[in-house]
Amino acid sequence: MGMTVSDAQGTKITLTATVISHEWESTPYTLVSLELPPPPLSPPCMGCVEPANVTDPGVQDAAAFVVTSINDGTCGSFCNGLSNTGDVHISTLVSATKQVVSGMQYGIVMILEDTAGAQFEVNATVWAQDWASTPKQITALTFKSTSPCAGCVQNANTTDADVVSAAAFVVASINDGTCGDPCDGFPKTSNVHLVSINSATRQVVAGFKLGLFLVVADNAGSMVEVDASVIIPANPAGPKELFSLSFTPLSTPSPSPSPSACAGCVEPADVDSQGVNDAAAFVVQSLNDGSCGELCTGFPNELTLSLLEITNATQQVVVGLKYELWLRVQDTTGMKVNVDASVWVQEWTAQKNRLTNLTWEVDACPGCPIPQPTDDAAVLDAVGFVVDAINADGCGGKCSDVPREGGVRLVRVESARSQVVAGTKWYLSFVVADEAGAQTFVTAEVLKKLNNQGYRLDSIDTKPVLGPVPSPSPSACAGCVEPADVDSQGVKDAAAFVVQSLNDGSCGELCTGFPNELTLSLLEITNATQQVVAGLKYELWLRVQDTTGMKVNVDASVWVQEWTAQKNRLTNLTWEVDACPGCPIPQPTDDAAVLDAVGFVVDAINADGCGGKCSDVPREGGVRLVRVESARSQVVAGTKWYLSFVVADEAGAQTSVTADVLEKLGNQGYELDNIETKRIVTTASPPRMPCGGCVELANVSSPNVKAAAKFVLQSLRDGSCGELCSGFPNELPLHIAEIKNATSQVVAGWRIQLWMVVEDKVGVQIDVYAAVWGQDWLNGRKEITELTWSVLECPGCPIPQPNDDASVLAATSFVVDFINLDACDGDCTEVASVGGVSLVRVESARSQVVAGVMYYVTFIVVDKAKTQTRLKVVVWQRVGFHMPYRLQALSSKRINKPHVGNRPPPRKAPPPRKLLMY
């Protein structure tokens, strides 16, 4: 609030005050701050040295003059001893001063960098007299190197011309065998090609030594990771030298089809091959862990399976490899099952193996255990015998620990099997509960003797399911959702599991985007329900809080099955952050205000101004910021910052710092409220101190990088990247498969470089490099400035084809004839076809081996009225059919709509439609 007061002499003074009201306390008001009017300004000092803003045009001109003088050699003796390689440029303008002295004299401190990456700190004085014949003069200049060391290994950009050239040289050396002994045993069946340059380093050593980390592949799809060093001579015309090379196979090539095999045909597979055995092992694992889902519903085993035999197998190239397997499996009771399974293998995808079909038949063998309905009368009789034995403690001491207050009763039978063996042997799994609601999981083997001579308990195992659970009221229905006691142990355990899952990240995709980076604690369980559903399912409404006081309302579903290995499973999670005034709010780690607050703490560490709390931080040569891990701000009589970051000294020793900093009102500086430090054990050399405008590694999971990647993806989808994406090889919808690497740079806005993999819906993966420039103050403007790509080759994937290829033109002619014969049954009426259509040109084409050949073609047709239509089609060329082609999909869009004389223009064409033909 603002107010005017008078002193004893009647002088009026204007005050600005901040007051917090908390009327529920004994002291209802607290004065937070009081600002007095500033004292009268002293008159400016004539001719004194004053601080100058580094963005001042005069400072910028003076700095540019120094750089020009160094590059063209006109700085004379001032530059003696400056050992730069090539021209220099300004990396950072650190500080500046100015002084009026018969003109203007500028004092400048800046960091310069040469073409080899070496950096120098330059302290220069420039005298500017704009009216004079020599408008600028350097009157003083000193410099010192700030590079880590001469000839040190530094990171290099993987898109640099010399890096790309060196990578091509390595590939050529592998293919022509000139790499010598290092290439012995290199796993290739044909010449290899470059898939990606994952990273690169540069070192000055009588020229340059480039370290390359590449991925190459041969025509059979075998991928190999290569670590190579290449010497680039100082003389550009000199030959390159392969200094070292090592390799690691990443994938095994699929067996090439025999010359007589037809593309995509089903062929016999060797049952002893590694691929078939791996696929069979995947089937057995899927049956054992239940990951086959609905495909294995009703499969007759509750026990662990093992593979007995692979009786037969076939394989087919169909966007990867598809195996058809005939297996015999057996469980631990000796029951054998004949299994027919289809496994689709796509090594390049995250899932790799997928079970697409599963059928089975149980061996009708005398005496084998046979699954029985859980509600069968004979099953319930055998279970009843075991229940009576538990109540009578007739288990030979093996069920003495079963809670049976008031006796136990059957809750449900989980599974049952019978086996003919001198009577009937029952293998039973069921759940019982006592009057207090304590549940127990029971596994028992019972022999029913011949001639109705009763039962014999051969084996029994018990395991508690839950603590006491309220018995359902007589009116409650089985399996219904019921209120749960928020103070019960079961609810508390489930809530603790939710909080633990959020803290350790084990909730996976369910908690993606959850707004905390700090440890959470449970504040309150506001409500809960429970439901019996093959265990207990809890619905919980919780309030949690992190260490900065941020509160979040969480709605979570937890499925509890005590008898399973996992026990607790989080099946649903939603949340809402409390919108409370003054709560801590997460901030971007690269925000300018965050970096200012972090810089204050770094300065305090260097000056040992932490009140003794940072005396154990290694700071040989001073510490510098490595990275900011997290940042939060809170409005509290100023701004309270909660910061986590890493610093390193000149020797490379790293320290993790957690600090609370108060930024005072009215730009009155910072105050360190709390600081904690922890040494980081690392052998890595310290990263270079971040500088304004430098290219720095970026977190691929950061919101800015993800937003830039989505912008690139959308531009590729809608073609808004213009000529940059001309010829991009996809005609199908894309999604981001992986963001492999990213860098960020401040350059009149921000610039993010991305190395990512995109994938279309048929599984084709494309390596994409893109540079995105953004200026957020211009309505969020973004622009792609660089774009390159490389299709990743894989067995069965679509392959780009020449537009004039005979096979492509044959498939295109089939579609043109199809339209002219009106064989679309009216579904391609949006295609302008007055007097028939003819082909104008093919724009793109791809082929895919899939039980024949699938063609993806984009082309333009024109009718007699000169109306052009762009078509996107999928045509299947089948093997062994009388009519080999079939149109799988068609979409179209008119390009021009001419009209003549006074005739009205034709009505607007309907939106593109897809045509499916079977």
Summarize pLDDT for 834-884 with one digit per residue, the tens. Answer: 888 899 999 888 888 777 788 889 999 998 888 888 888 888 887 767 778
Give the model's confidence band at 681: pLDDT under 50 very low, under 70 low, under 90 confident, else very high.
low
Mean pLDDT of 679-691: 51
What pLDDT score does 349 carry?
Answer: 63
Structure tokens at 670: 């910072």
Mean pLDDT of 760-780: 81
Gap between the Cα atoms of 188 and 222, Å rounded = 7
- What DSSP state is assigned to residue 795? T
Of 214-223, 322-331, 340-349, 471-480, give the range with the top mean pLDDT.
322-331
What pLDDT score does 153 carry?
Answer: 67
Phi/psi of residue 166, each to 5°? -65, -40
Give the model's confidence band at 280: pLDDT under 50 very low, under 70 low, under 90 confident, else very high.
very high
How many other C-beta atoms are found inside a 10 Å radius of the C-beta of residue 710? 11
What pLDDT score does 476 carry?
Answer: 44
Mean pLDDT of 187-199: 80
Mean pLDDT of 287-291: 83
In the chain, the percentage of residues whose pLDDT exceeds 90 is: 13
| Helices (runs of H) and strands (runs of E) counted in the chain | 8, 43
Q: Which of 50-64, 436-450, 455-469 comes out lowest in average pLDDT?
A: 455-469
Mean pLDDT of 298-315: 83
pLDDT single digits (tens) 613-646: 888 888 888 888 888 888 888 877 778 888 888 8
Question: Does the structure show a pLDDT above 70 at 340?
Answer: yes
The answer for residues whose C-beta is within 8 angstroms of residue 542's C-beta and 6 or more apart is 495, 498, 499, 522, 523, 524, 525, 526, 553, 554, 555, 556
What pLDDT score does 565 carry?
Answer: 65
CB 438 within 8 A of CB 408: no
What pLDDT score does 8 carry?
Answer: 52
Mean pLDDT of 738-750: 82
What pLDDT score does 326 carry?
Answer: 92
What pLDDT score does 918 carry?
Answer: 30
Give the model's confidence band at 761: pLDDT under 50 very low, under 70 low, under 90 confident, else very high.
low
Give the model's confidence band at 914: pLDDT under 50 very low, under 70 low, under 90 confident, else very high.
very low
What pLDDT score does 159 carry?
Answer: 74
CA distances from 475 to 160, 478, 530, 698 (A): 75, 10, 16, 60
Gap between the Cα atoms of 23 and 26, Å rounded = 8
Gap between the Cα atoms of 627 and 595, Å rounded = 10
Nearest partner of 122 among 152, 83, 93, judged by Cα: 93
Residues counted in the chain: 918
Count of CA atoms in the C-beta half-sphere (13 A) of 557: 9
Find the farthest-apart pair of alpha carbons in the chain and give their distance in angstroms, rounded.
126
The answer for residues whose C-beta is within 8 angstroms of residue 460's C-beta and 6 or more apart is 386, 389, 395, 398, 399, 442, 443, 444, 445
pLDDT single digits (tens) 395-431: 888 888 888 888 888 888 888 888 877 778 888 888 8
Question: Does the structure show a pLDDT above 60 at 468?
Answer: no
Give the model's confidence band at 900: pLDDT under 50 very low, under 70 low, under 90 confident, else very high.
very low
Mean pLDDT of 511-528: 81
What pLDDT score does 860 carry?
Answer: 92
Q: Which domains does the chain have, with CATH numbers?
A: 48-145 (3.10.450.10), 152-249 (3.10.450.10), 266-362 (3.10.450.10), 374-464 (3.10.450.10), 481-577 (3.10.450.10), 585-679 (3.10.450.10), 694-791 (3.10.450.10), 799-894 (3.10.450.10)
Structural element, H or E, at residue 78: none
The residue behind tokens 């002295």 is 101
Query: What is the b/e burial string over 205-244, where b = at least 16 CB atoms within 10 angstroms of the residue's CB?
Result: eebbbbbbbbbbbbebbbbbbbebbbbbeeeeeeebebee
Give the model's confidence band at 33: pLDDT under 50 very low, under 70 low, under 90 confident, else very high.
low
In this structure, is the dihedral angle defined by the CA atoms of residues 143, 149, 152 and 156, taken in order, positive or negative? Answer: negative
Strand partners, 446: 426, 457
What pLDDT score does 473 carry?
Answer: 41
What's the mean per-residue pLDDT of the chain? Answer: 79
Gap between the Cα atoms of 585 and 583, Å rounded = 6
User: DSSP labels for 479-508?
Assistant: T--EE--TTSHHHHHHHHHHHHHHHHTTTG
Phi/psi of residue 487, each to 5°? -95, 0
Structure tokens at 806: 């005979």
What pLDDT score does 651 carry?
Answer: 77
What pLDDT score does 281 carry?
Answer: 93
Mean pLDDT of 119-147: 82
Give the model's confidence band at 370: pLDDT under 50 very low, under 70 low, under 90 confident, else very high.
confident
Question: Does the structure show a pLDDT above 60 at 192?
Answer: yes
Question: Does the structure show a pLDDT above 90 at 107?
Answer: yes
Question: Does the structure show a pLDDT above 80 at 12?
Answer: no
Nearest partner of 166 among 199, 190, 188, judged by Cα: 199
- What DSSP state is assigned to residue 77? G
Question: Does the structure show a pLDDT above 50 at 252?
Answer: no
DSSP strand E in 824-884: where?
Answer: 837-849, 852-863, 868-878
pLDDT single digits (tens) 562-613: 766 678 888 888 888 776 656 677 788 888 888 889 989 998 898 888 888 8
Mean pLDDT of 41-56: 69
What pLDDT score does 383 carry?
Answer: 92
Nearest partner of 775 among 752, 754, 743, judged by Cα: 752
Q: pTM for the whole thing?
A: 0.28
Nearest partner of 496 among 542, 432, 427, judged by Cα: 542
Q: Which of 249-263, 313-327, 624-638, 746-760 comes out lowest in average pLDDT?
A: 249-263
In the chain, the percentage of residues whose pLDDT exceeds 70 is: 80
pLDDT single digits (tens) 477-492: 556 788 889 999 999 9
**Sheet (strand 585-586) strand order:** 585-586, 623-635, 639-649, 654-663, 670-680
